[in-house]
């Protein structure tokens, strides 16, 4: 288990992650919809997440969402790198009723995000544009290459939840043990 505390003028976050967990979580960011998405991520990735964020949500949710991405990304990097004896690549398409989202990722230690999910507006009081901010912060700080592609759907809640679940399942698959690979790179390190 890896822990990190991060305090700025905008947020105060205490978080721990355990990559070899069972998907247990304790999530409190002060943003109900975002909590629900992080719970889905933890459950479907099998990564235990305990996070408490006190943020300036009286301004809006942006700082809390982005900073949670930074913290979770850093913790996942500390938990997973240097990688050895894992598949390295993972992909998943997750459907949620009419919605379908695909995620493919590489534990490359080269941060890059392709986010092809065009949504605007809100789910409840939550600005849906913040989902891209979260994944950008997470991927950059985690050091992974990730492609998240919207396949179809109309319900914003379903699309966003399928996004988090597709990322979670792709990550779980990338972390599957494979001792035959050793360091999964022809370069000898990642």
Residue 190 pLDDT level (bands cut at 50, 70, 90): confident
Asked if residue 56 belongs to a domain, the reply is: yes
pLDDT of residue 53: 98
pLDDT in tens, 88-112: 999 999 999 999 999 999 999 999 9
Asked if residue 62 belongs to a domain, the reply is: yes
* Average pLDDT score, the chain: 97
Alpha helices in the chain (DSSP H): 32-45, 62-80, 130-142, 156-174
d(CA 93, CA 21): 23
Q: What are phi and psi of 165, to 5 degrees?
A: -70, -40
Strand-by-strand arrangement of the 25-28 sheet: 2-7, 11-18, 48-55, 25-28
Asked if residue 185 belongs to a domain, the reply is: no
d(CA 53, CA 152): 32
Asked if residue 44 belongs to a domain, the reply is: yes
Q: Which residues are 181's β-sheet partners?
A: none
What mean pLDDT do residues 84-90 have? 97
Tell me the CATH number at 61: 3.30.230.40
d(CA 85, CA 122): 41
pLDDT in tens, 61-77: 999 999 999 999 999 99
Asked if residue 183 belongs to a domain, the reply is: no
Number of domains in the chain: 1
What percent of the chain has pLDDT above 90?
Answer: 97
Asked if residue 154 belongs to a domain, the reply is: yes
110: left (phi over 0), alpha (psi -120 to 50) or beta: beta
Asked if residue 84 belongs to a domain, the reply is: yes
pLDDT of residue 188: 86
What mean pLDDT do residues 180-190 have? 89
Domain that holds residue 98: 2-174
Among residues 172, 150, 154, 156, the alpha carbon closest in space to that of 41 is found at: 172
- Would strands 145-152 and 112-116 be described as parallel, antiparallel, or unpaired? parallel
pLDDT in tens, 151-161: 999 999 999 99
Letter string b/e over residues 77-107, b meaning 16 or more CB atoms within 10 A of that residue's CB: bebbeebbebbbebebebebeebbbbbbbbb
Q: How many C-beta atoms lie closer than 10 Å to residue 25's C-beta?
A: 18
Q: What is the pTM of this model?
A: 0.97
Asked if residue 6 belongs to a domain, the reply is: yes
Tell me the C-alpha to C-alpha distance, in Å, between residue 146 and each of 29, 33, 108, 132, 140: 24, 23, 10, 12, 10
């Amino acid at each position: 288990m890896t822990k990190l505390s991060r305090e700025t003028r905008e947020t105060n976050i205490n978080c721990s992650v355990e990559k070899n967990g069972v998907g247990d979580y304790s999530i409190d960011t002060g943003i109900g919809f975002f909590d629900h998405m992080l719970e889905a991520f933890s459950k479907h990735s099998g990564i235990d997440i305990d996070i408490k964020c006190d943020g300036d949500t009286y301004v809006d949710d942006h700082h809390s969402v982005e900073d949670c991405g930074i913290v979770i990304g850093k913790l996942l990097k500390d938990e997973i790198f240097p990688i050895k004896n894992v598949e390295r690549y993972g992909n998943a398409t997750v459907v949620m009723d009419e919605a379908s989202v695909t995620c493919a990722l590489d534990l490359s230690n080269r941060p890059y995000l392709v986010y092809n999910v065009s949504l605007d507006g809100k789910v409840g009081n939550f600005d849906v544009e913040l989902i891209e901010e979260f994944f950008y912060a997470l991927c950059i700080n985690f050091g992974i290459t990730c492609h998240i592609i919207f396949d179809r759907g109309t319900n914003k809640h379903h699309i966003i939840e399928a996004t988090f679940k597709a990322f979670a399942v792709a990550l779980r698959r990338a972390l599957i043990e494979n001792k035959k690979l050793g360091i999964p790179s022809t370069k000898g390190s990642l």
